[in-house]
Amino acid sequence: TLDAKALKDKILKLKEEHSAVILAHNYQIGEVQDIADFIGDSLELARKAANLDADVIVFCGVDFMAETAAILSPEKTVLLPAADANCPMAEMITAGELRVLKERFPDAAVVCYVNTSAEVKAESDICCTSSNAVKVVESLDEDKVIFVPDRNLGSYVARFTDKQVMPWEGFCFVHDRITPEDVINARKLHPGAEVLVHPECRSEVVDLADHVYSTSGMIEHVCKSENKEFIIGTEVGIIHRMKNDCPDKLYYPLSDNAVCITMKRTDLQKVYNSLESLTPRVTVPEEVAEKARLAIQRMLDIK
Ligand code: 13P
Ligand code: SF4
């Protein structure tokens, strides 16, 4: 194994050789964010992956994000440096379960959070992310909406629409375990701070927050806000990016337990190994990809 500086140099060299671009999610560890060409939330990364001039995409995030990139750019080599970086929430619904739901509610539209497998996307009418979920639901003609898999994002969306939103019972273990007591305690410790939470949090937590945003929405907010202190109700990795983008403000995690272990499986060594061997590669069979692409593209077409 090499030290961090030597690894970084080798990664940059390989990146050039392969005409590769490194994309990283806002939850990635600091050293991975620091080497990325682009850091973002799920929607920004999907848009980026769709419009990249590169042969290779190194996706520092979790599997559904790399799959989305592979679906949008089947001609590119998409690498997921940590092969076991899955999203447990995405595994809480299968395509078979979704087909049963569709039979039960044939007049409902199906909205799937991007945190799903390619097979589930292929069974859906349109995808959404945490930053556009309300817009996506409002764009539909149908009055009834099957919303999978996140019950918390589903009930968040239901607050802003007259449509009947029927959420599946999935959840993100990182956000779902944040409690109202966490908010009350954090406010006591930091009375002047604003509380920002992700819509994957429980509705009791959302009720106590000042603002609800996607990860990049939070970053934009803290940079623009006149406030100096923020309590951050999402995965703690985002604080690295906030400190980088807006160093003169103070950030406190709403919960120190808000750690997504699979997001942390990517490190510089794995990025290097992956660029060197061009593995582990993520591919999606074309018969699944062509249907999933329609649902993703329909989302990307909403501005
Ligand atoms: P964002 O799209 O807000 O970055 O969220 C992704 C995610 O996995 C949240 O847990
Ligand atoms: Fe999945 Fe939650 Fe991790 Fe996001 S934070 S990747 S939703 S487990």
CB distance 42 to ligand 1 below 6 Å: yes
Q: What is the pLDDT of residues 208-256, one digit of tens each?
A: 999 999 999 999 999 999 999 999 999 999 999 999 999 999 999 999 9
Q: What residue type is 147 in one-letter code?
A: F
Pairwise CA distance, residues 121 & 134, whole Å: 18
CB distance 87 to ligand 2 below 6 Å: yes
User: Which of 125, 154, 172 is the endpoint of a domain?
Assistant: 172
Nearest ligand, CA of residue 197? 1
Distance 87 CA to ligand 2 centre (A): 5
Q: What is the pLDDT of residues 101-125, one digit of tens each?
A: 999 999 999 999 999 999 999 999 9
Distance 200 CA to ligand 2 centre (A): 9
Residue 49: alpha-carbon gap to chain centroid: 14
Which protein residue has the closest C-alpha to ligand 1 atom 3? 214
Q: Which atom of ligand 1 is nearest to the CA of 25?
A: 4
Weakly modelled stretches of the chain, pLDDT under 50: none
CATH of the domain at 44: 3.40.50.10800
pLDDT of the residue at 297:
97
Hunting for tokens 């939850």 — which residue is that? 27
Question: Is position 44 within any domain?
Answer: yes
- Average predicted confidence (pLDDT) for the chain: 97
Do 75 and 105 sit in the same domain of this protein?
no
CB distance 150 to ligand 1 below 6 Å: no
Question: Is position 56 within any domain?
Answer: yes
Which protein residue has the closest C-alpha to ligand 1 atom 4? 41
Number of domains, the chain: 3
Is 0.90 surpassed by the pTM of this model?
yes
Do 97 and 41 sit in the same domain of this protein?
no
Domain limits for position 60: 4-86+263-285
Pairwise CA distance, residues 217 & 182, whole Å: 22
pLDDT of the residue at 1:
61
Q: Measuring CA to CA, which residue among 222, 275, 255, 243 is closest to residue 30?
A: 243
* Interface confidence: ipTM more than 0.90: yes
Do 221 and 242 sit in the same domain of this protein?
yes
Do 68 and 136 sit in the same domain of this protein?
no
Question: Is position 292 within any domain?
Answer: no
Which protein residue has the closest C-alpha to ligand 2 atom 6? 87
Do 165 and 184 sit in the same domain of this protein?
no
Q: What residue type is 44 in one-letter code?
A: E
Question: Is position 224 within any domain?
Answer: yes
Question: Is position 297 within any domain?
Answer: no
CB distance 14 to ligand 2 below 6 Å: no
